[in-house]
């Protein structure tokens, strides 16, 4: 088990982990993805557990079913448990994002996960999240591996 700083949402059974410093737009983007049909997994802290060749995402018990909405407060929101991690999105300013990115990966608990940069405050950001996870699902170039 690993606890990391990040916000996680699920689209279907596939989890997307948003990483970035405080104020970078993780929770804001999560709210907009949830508004478009996603489901909160965790906000601010996420637990990762390896189950065979999958990474399963969940929320720490003390913050389960809660999301921080900047300027509004801590809000109750039902969350999903046990979503499989499919993609990591790093919150970045637009000038640091490649127009056509080269596949990048990170490692959690010995498994590789695809990583993309995303500007979370763009109007199109929730759609980009959906397009990115659909691309990961259909592309074998992002297949998980347990070799480092």
User: 148 in a domain, yes or no?
Assistant: no
State the pairing for strand pair 54-58/83-91.
Answer: antiparallel
Kindly name the residue from 3, 5, 70, 137 that is annotated as catalytic.
Answer: 5
Q: Indicate if 26 belongs to the active site.
A: yes
CATH code of the domain containing 24 = 3.40.50.300
Establish if 121 belongs to a structural domain.
yes
Query: Does the structure show a pLDDT above 50 at 140?
Result: no
The dihedrals phi and psi of 131, each to the nearest 5 degrees, come to: -65, -40
What are phi and psi for residue 103, nearest 5 degrees? -55, 130
Range of the domain at 53: 2-142
35 is catalytic: no
The span from the CA of 59 to the CA of 7, in Å, is 9
**Does residue 18 belong to any structural domain of this protein?**
yes
- Judge whether 24 lies within some domain: yes
Burial 36-65 (b: 16+ CB within 10 A, else e): eebbbbbbbebbbebeeeebbbbbeeebbe
65 is catalytic: no
Question: Which of 9, 11, 91, 72 lies closest to 43 in space, CA to CA?
Answer: 9
Q: Range with the lowest mean pLDDT among 47-56, 90-99, 135-144?
A: 135-144
Which is catalytic among the residues 44, 64, 65, 128? 44
For 120-134, the pLDDT digits (tens) are 999 999 999 999 998
Indicate if 32 belongs to the active site.
no
pLDDT in tens, 46-94: 999 999 999 999 999 999 999 999 899 999 999 998 999 999 999 999 9
Task: Flag whether 131 is in a domain.
Answer: yes
Answer yes or no: is 147 within a domain: no
The answer to whether residue 54 sits within a structural domain is yes
Q: Which of 19, 26, 32, 80 is catalytic?
A: 26
Of 35, 96, 99, 141, which one is the catalytic site residue?
Answer: 99
pLDDT at position 135, please?
A: 84
pTM for this entry: 0.90
Average pLDDT on 4-16 reads: 95
**What pLDDT score does 103 carry?**
87
Domain count, the chain: 1
């Amino acid at each position: 088990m690993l606890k990391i700083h990040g916000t996680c949402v699920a689209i279907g059974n596939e989890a997307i982990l948003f990483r970035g410093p405080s104020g970078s737009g993780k929770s804001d983007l999560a709210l907009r993805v949830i508004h478009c049909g996603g489901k909160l997994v965790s906000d601010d802290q996420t637990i990762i557990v390896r189950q065979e060749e999958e990474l399963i995402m969940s929320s720490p018990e003390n913050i389960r079913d809660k999301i921080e909405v900047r300027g509004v407060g801590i809000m109750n929101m039902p969350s999903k448990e046990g979503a499989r991690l499919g993609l990591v999105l790093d919150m970045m300013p637009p000038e640091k994002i490649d127009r056509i990115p080269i596949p990048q990966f990170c490692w959690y608990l010995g498994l590789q996960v695809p990583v993309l940069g995303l500007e979370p405050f763009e109007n199109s950001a929730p759609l980009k999240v959906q397009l990115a996870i659909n691309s990961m699902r259909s592309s074998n170039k992002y297949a998980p591996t347990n070799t480092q």
